[in-house]
Every structure is written in C-alpha cells, then in structure tokens.
Copies of this chain bind each other. A is one copy, B any other.
C-alpha cells in the first residue's frame, strides 16, 4: 500500500503494517484542518473511523485540539472513545471539561468504564461530579468503584440486559430491543427472581431459535456458569475462555446478580495477567501502571528486590569457588570452562521451568502429572547433557588436554541434568505449597543451579585431578 497523503485516502488496511493506522500522520492532518477551521472535514473523517482508532489519534493530539476533536463526535461515540484512552489521557481531558459536560459524558458511558474514569479523577472533581448525576447513576458508580482492584467486581459492568421468566420468546426479543441502547450486550440476557438471585441465562440466539410463544423459563439455562464478585479477576477471564462465553454473570456473597464481565474485557484482563507472569519470569515485580507510563521510582521498586536477593544467592556460588581455591590455583585452565558450565545448568533449568510454568498456567499440565513428566524430563536432560558434553569435550582437549576434557564433559552432563530437574520440579513444588508457580522460573532456578554447578564442577575436578 502507498502511504496516504491526505485523510481522504485514509482507509483501514490490515496489510499496511502491524499498526493498522499511522496515528501520528493523522494527528498532524487533523491539527492542520482544525487550525484552518475545517472542523466539518475532521468530523466526517472521525465518523468514518473505528472508535479505537479515533482514541489513538486523540492520544497524539495536543490537548486543546484533542478537546475540539472529541467534541465533534456524537455524545455516544465520545463516551465510548474516552473508554479507549489511557488513564492519564482520560484525566487530562476530564479536567478540561466543565462539570456539566463531564457529567453528561459520564451518563452516556458504559457503567464499567464510567467507574474506571471516576476512580482516576481527583477527589474534588469526584465530589463535584456526583451531584450532577442521577441518583441511580451515583449509587451504581459508588458500588462499582468500591470493589478492590484485581477483583472481578472491579472489571464487571452493571448495564446488563434482564428478562422475566414468564415472557414469551417474542416478548423477550422485544424487551431486548428496548434495552439495546443501554445494555453492554443483548446477546446474553439474565433472569433474576424478586430477591435479584440469578435463576437463569438465555442467549439471543436461543430466543431466535425458540418457538415464538415458548416461555423464557423453558429456554433458559438454569445452571449457568457464574463467578463471585470478590474472586480474582483472572478467574473471570479463565471461565470465559474455558466456556467460550460472550459474557459471564457476577454474583455477590448473597448470590445476587450484581454485574457481568464481557469477553472483550476478559481479553484485556488475560493480557494484563500474562504481562504480570512474563514480568515475574523476567525478575520484575508487579506494578500498577503500564511500562510506558511508569515512573523511575515505580520501576526501581519493581526491580531492586530480585536483583539484591539474587546477589545474596550468588554469594553462595562465590563461596563455593572460594572453597575450591586450591584446585583452581593448581589448574587455572579450569576457569576457562566455568562460565560455560554454570550457564548451561541455568539455561537448561530455565527451559524446564519455563515449559512447566506455562503449561501449569494454561492447564495443559496438572500438578498431578509430575511423576509422569519426571521420567521424560530425565531422558531429555540426559540427551541434552550428552550432546553438550560432546561439544565441550573437543574444546576441553584443545584448551587443557584429555584430563580436563573428561572433567568438563562429566561435569556438563551432571550439571545439565541437575539444572533441568531443579527447573522442572520447582514449579510443581510451588504449586503444591499453594504459591504461584510463575515465581519458580528464571531467577530461583538459575541461582540454585549456579551454586550447584560450581560444587559439581570443582568437586569432579578435585576428585579426578587428584588433589
């Protein structure tokens, strides 16, 4: 595709690169048009675009231009676009609005995104906004905003569609039509009793396929999948993925229906969860904001813990080396192989731990499978160790003669086997003692494998070279 030279050429094109849109280019064009006073062209362009892309353009604009641009959209689109912005951009725009404008916008937002926006506002703005909202909106906002971060309650929304059990399929579809403007989804509807307890779930598809006079109570699923509002948010994502749901009902501790989690929000939760797991395996602790927006202090705090902890872990490796100082002094050529042997144990261990941590996370492997997998891992590790021993034997002969080659080869086999078995076992041990297996990857494994590697290498050397 050729690069667009004006907004008129600008089309969604998945083959133009992985960014889909050149937001920076669009932002420059929008700025130019706005400065020229041609807000009609901007409005037409924005209306032709997906709202997720409009949000990307707004992120690139100067704040006054972004405010002008967003006000060109119909209120309903404004409300949706705001939900796509980064929290810091949401805050910037919200503080540029009058209280009345902000309240009008918040009334139009979906309930979960409204609560998320509310949470990033300054306390004074929060207090100023509440009186401008309706009684129902205020209560809804307070309720949703009250859930702890990381719980299902903090990601659910309360604008779900409800039906009565006595309605016919035709009446139910009519009822969904009436709720379609407000509800987050009409493809799944919820049936509650007088106490707001969930008694069933029905899909719009099943309503369409039913006979027109069939009652909702006879069509609905009376034992639907659900989740507790106080559960961890990943639980909702896991249930939605497992049961291929469009939305998942959320119950409070009294079993009352309080909200739903939609599949698209679940995908976001799953992505955040994966990011946290990946960070953990890369020695980075959890932090709230995105990497792009994190401050120096936040990143320092997320990183220093493991770095210092591992320094102390490596003191044992140093002590191991110091213990064998006589052997080393007598055979300084042994040092050449030290990094290579130590690193191999850690690398093999990292591989095993990575495979097991991820398989446990996705459910591909269960804690009970440990015994069965241990045998396979032993065979694989021996095969890997033998291959690598053959490689280093050649280097051993060349650098230090046949004796050193034997020491290095034997050490390689033992170290790779040791590293792989530690790396494989640790995630299972963590799962058994109810800790997150992800914490068992990289850091701990390499640290333990380092110490063991030093002891194995110089132990074998001391024994075979006769000191």
Contact = CB atoms under 8 A, between A and B. Distances in A.
7 contacts: A187-B204, A241-B264, A281-B282, A282-B442, A296-B380, A315-B395, A321-B339
Contacts of A356: 291
Contacts of A244: 52, 264
Contacts of A15: 228, 231
- Most chain B CB within 10 A, of A204, A356, A366, is at A204
A343 interface: yes
- Most chain B CB within 10 A, of A48, A228, A317, is at A317
Interface string A363-380: 011100100010010011
A97 interface: no
Q: Which 10 A-B residue pairings sit nearest by Cβ, starting from the closest?
A: A282-B354, A317-B339, A314-B340, A318-B336, A244-B264, A291-B359, A314-B339, A177-B208, A290-B364, A322-B336
Interface of A: 11-12, 14-15, 18-20, 48, 50, 52, 173, 176-177, 180-181, 186-187, 204-205, 208-209, 223-228, 231, 235, 238-244, 246, 263-264, 267-268, 270-271, 274-275, 277-279, 281-284, 290-292, 296, 299-300, 303-304, 306-308, 310-311, 314-315, 317-319, 321-322, 325, 328-329, 332-333, 335-340, 342-344, 347-348, 350-351, 353-356, 358-359, 362, 364-366, 369, 373, 376, 379-380, 383-384, 387-388, 391-392, 395, 416, 441-443, 446-447, 450, 454
Contact of A321 (B300, B338, B446): B338
Contact of A264 (B238, B263, B332): B263
**A-side interface mostly:** helix
A303 B384 contact: yes
B264 A351 contact: no
A53 to B, nearest CB: 8
